[in-house]
Amino acid sequence: MKECNQCGKCCIKYGDGGLSASASEIETWESAHPEIYRYVRDGKIWMNPDTGQPLERCPWLRKLPNQSKYICDIYEVRPADCKYYPTTIDEMIRDECEMLEARDRIKPKLAQKKLNKIMAASRPAFE
């Protein structure tokens, strides 16, 4: 398994209504990060502050100039959905994650163990 190359596929795929935030995350944004809270409506995240409609893409995903890399402008306070991704090898295959190598597809159980080690600091292990 390769290190994340910041391709942004995960953020692009899930940034249009595919993510959620906990009530405590939303409360934190409301009190400490009003610039993030602007994009919350009725407990849903990444909503257009003017229309209340879902945005097509996460407002915090930014492409680096002259590169094929993306960064998250709220990385330190991003929702757990983002912190926990990726959770399973199947999910990574479905999402065409660029961290996967051919051998990860051949031996998915071993790859899952590697992924769990990589992600140990940000989420519980998945089987």
pLDDT band at residue 120 using 50, 70 and 90 as cut-offs: confident
Distance, in Å, from the CA atom of 12 to the CA atom of 3, rounded to the nearest integer, reads 18
Would 126 be classed as within a structural domain?
no
**Number of independent structural domains in the chain:** 1
pLDDT band at residue 100 using 50, 70 and 90 as cut-offs: very high
In the chain, where does DSSP find H-type helix? 9-14, 23-32, 34-37, 80-84, 89-94, 102-106, 108-118
Would 2 be classed as within a structural domain?
no
Would 60 be classed as within a structural domain?
yes
pLDDT band at residue 75 using 50, 70 and 90 as cut-offs: very high
- Reported as a single tens digit per residue, the pLDDT across 6-23 is 999 888 888 777 889 999
- Reported as a single tens digit per residue, the pLDDT across 19-48 is 899 999 999 999 999 999 999 999 999 999
Residue 34 domain boundaries:
9-118
Would 24 be classed as within a structural domain?
yes
* b/e sequence 90-119, b meaning 16+ C-beta within 10 Å: eebeebebbbbeeebeeebeebbeebbeeb
What residues contact residue 108 under an 8 Å CB cut-off, 6+ apart?
A: 89, 90
Would 51 be classed as within a structural domain?
yes
How many other C-beta atoms can be found within 10 angstroms of the C-beta atom of residue 49? 12
| Structure confidence at residue 127 (pLDDT) | 66
Would 29 be classed as within a structural domain?
yes
pTM of the complete model = 0.84
Which H helix or E strand runs over 44? strand 44-45
